[in-house]
Every structure is written in structure tokens, then in C-alpha cells.
């Protein structure tokens, strides 16, 4: 099979628990996924770095896609699994309809020479926000369990930093903080506000104050901008590149 994975799973079996447990996921499946009939392979990879990822299968005609995932959905993790799988399925839909945000087409030479970690985070800032805006506004998926875990992991990774990082490490941290702030802003309820406030208070107690100031400046400039289409992407991308000084970090 094009996904080259002996652990390929049957789609119906993978998502059956989601369909049987959520009217919202069932509606999403009927209106967005099933009607498109996109050829997609579902691959269980227990050592996957992320919980799940969507990707194009190389050299397939017609186009085929793959959703890799670390664990099958369970009732115990139902709320988070509903969001995770709907999120990756929406990425596949955007891939298939050429709606995903192809940052490299803005200036491929410039973009391709950014440090890899910077490219990945900038891509996620833009594309993940477009996907999650859609899921929150049209289907009301609950992002909080996934985001709460993300914030917890971020806090653990920052615990040992005793002084403000410099150079590429500082840029990576600034981009990561921008991503966290934009994505967290999509959730608007009391619990999420409390979690974010506690996290922000903790960040301010660490040696990150100037990075947080820069993050707030960038986020305030772009949070009102829609970038759900490729045409809307350029000014947001250029703003992030300029304010985060990514142009200074281009590699040869």
C-alpha cells in the first residue's frame, strides 16, 4: 500500500467509537468527510512523535493521503480524540482541495532556507489556526483537553531554563509562544481562561519577559486578521518573518 505501513487500519473501525459517541462528529463526518470520499490510509504507529498527523502519500495518482496516529480512539479519551481525529481529517480535506496554506509558494527560496524548526512552527501557526477556527465555529469541537496537555508539556520543557535563551533558541521560543497564544485564543470559556492565566503568570515568573512582550506585540497585530485562504496568508507570514527576525536566520 502507498502508506507502506503494515499497521494500516480499517477506517470504519478506527472512527466507529467517535461516530457512535458524538452527534457533532457524526455531522462532521456526513457533511465534510463522507461526501468527498477522499482515498485515505489510516496507519497505527505506536512510536509516532505526535498524537496524530496528516500527510500526502508520495507519487500517487490519483492523490492518496494518510492519517498516522499513535493510539486508536477510546471512551476514556473521547473528548480529546474527537478533536484530534477531526483536526487531521480537516487537514486532509484542505490538502485534497488545495486549500492548505502553502507558505513556500510565497517565496520558496527564502522560506526553504529558514531553520527547519522555524519553518515547522510558522506552518503550524497559520494552518492549524485555520483548521481549528473551522472546527470551533462550525462544529463546536472542544479543543481544551488537547490544548491543556500542550500547555502542560510546554511548562515542563521550560522548567529548567534559568536565563533568557538567545539566537535560534530564542526565536524558536518566541514562535512557540505566538502559536500557543493564538491557538489558545480560539477557546473562550472560564476554565480555559483560568488555565491560560495561571500559565501566563508562571511564564512571567521565568526569564522570558522580553519574549512575552514581543509575542504580545505580534499577536495583537495579527489576531484580528483572517488567514483561512492562501490569498490572506502573505501579510501574516511576512509580519511574522519581520517581527521574529526570521530573515536574519536564513541559512546558506
Please give the tally of structural domains in the chain.
2
Among 69, 96, 123, the domain-final residue is: 96
150 and 78 assigned to the same domain = no
- pLDDT score recorded for residue 4: 57
One-character DSSP codes across the chain: -TT--TTEE-HHHHHHHHHHH-HHHHHHIIIIIITT---EEEEE-TT-SSSEEEEEPTT-SS--EEEEESS---STTHHHHHHHHHHHHHHHHHHHTT-S--GGGT-HHHHHTS-HHHHHHHHHHHHHHHHHHHHHHHS----HHHHHHHHHHHHHHHTT--S---HHHHHHHHHHHHHHHHHHTT--SHHHHHHHHHHHHHHHTTT-HHHHHHHHHHHHHHTT----SSTTHHHHHHHHHHHTTGGGG---
Please report whether residue 2 resides in a domain. Answer: no
- pLDDT score recorded for residue 203: 93
- Give the β-pairing of 65-69 and 40-44: parallel
Answer whether residue 176 shows pLDDT above 50.
Answer: yes
Answer whether residue 252 shows pLDDT above 50.
Answer: no
40 and 91 assigned to the same domain = yes
One-character DSSP codes across 157-170: HHTT--S---HHHH
Please report whether residue 189 resides in a domain. Answer: yes
Please report whether residue 18 resides in a domain. Answer: yes
215 and 131 assigned to the same domain = yes
Among 41, 72, 96, the domain-final residue is: 96
Answer whether residue 14 shows pLDDT above 90.
Answer: yes
- pLDDT score recorded for residue 1: 43
- pLDDT score recorded for residue 122: 78
- pLDDT score recorded for residue 111: 59
Average pLDDT rounded to a whole number, residues 36-59? 92
- Quickly state the pLDDT bin for 3 (edges 50, 70, 90): low
State pLDDT tens for residues 130-148: 898 889 888 988 888 888 8
State pLDDT tens for residues 195-250: 999 999 999 999 999 999 999 999 998 877 777 677 777 778 878 888 888 766 65
125 and 219 assigned to the same domain = yes
Among 61, 76, 96, the domain-final residue is: 96
Quote the crossing angle between the two packed helices 190-204 and 144-158, to the nearest 10°.
10
Q: Which domain, by its residues, includes 204?
A: 107-249
134 and 12 assigned to the same domain = no
- pLDDT score recorded for residue 61: 78
Amino acid at each position: 500500500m502507498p502508506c507502506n505501513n503494515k499497521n494500516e487500519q480499517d477506517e470504519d473501525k478506527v472512527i466507529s467509537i467517535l461516530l457512535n459517541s458524538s452527534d457533532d462528529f457524526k455531522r462532521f463526518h456526513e457533511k465534510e468527510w463522507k461526501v468527498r470520499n477522499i482515498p485515505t490510509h489510516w496507519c497505527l504507529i505506536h512510536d509516532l512523535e505526535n498524537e496524530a498527523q496528516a500527510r500526502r502519500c508520495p507519487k500517487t495518482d490519483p492523490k492518496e493521503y494518510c492519517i498516522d496516529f499513535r493510539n486508536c480512539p477510546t471512551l476514556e479519551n473521547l473528548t480529546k480524540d474527537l478533536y484530534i481525529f477531526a483536526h487531521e481529517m480537516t487537514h486532509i480535506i484542505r490538502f485534497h482541495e488545495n486549500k492548505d496554506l502553502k507558505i513556500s509558494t510565497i517565496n520558496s527560496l527564502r522560506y526553504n532556507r529558514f531553520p527547519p524548526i522555524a519553518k515547522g512552527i510558522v506552518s503550524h501557526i497559520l494552518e492549524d489556526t485555520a483548521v481549528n477556527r473551522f472546527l470551533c465555529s462550525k462544529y463546536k469541537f472542544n479543543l481544551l483537553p488537547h490544548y491543556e496537555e500542550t500547555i502542560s508539556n510546554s511548562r515542563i520543557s521550560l522548567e529548567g531554563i534559568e536565563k533568557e535563551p538567545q539566537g535560534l533558541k530564542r526565536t524558536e521560543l518566541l514562535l512557540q509562544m505566538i502559536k500557543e497564544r493564538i491557538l489558545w485564543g480560539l477557546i473562550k470559556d472560564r476554565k480555559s481562561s483560568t488555565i491560560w492565566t495561571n500559565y501566563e503568570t508562571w511564564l512571567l515568573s521565568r526569564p522570558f519577559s522580553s519574549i512575552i512582550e514581543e509575542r504580545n506585540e505580534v499577536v495583537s497585530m495579527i489576531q484580528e486578521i483572517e488567514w483561512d485562504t492562501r490569498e490572506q496568508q502573505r501579510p501574516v507570514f511576512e509580519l511574522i518573518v519581520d517581527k521574529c527576525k526570521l530573515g536574519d536566520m536564513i541559512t546558506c
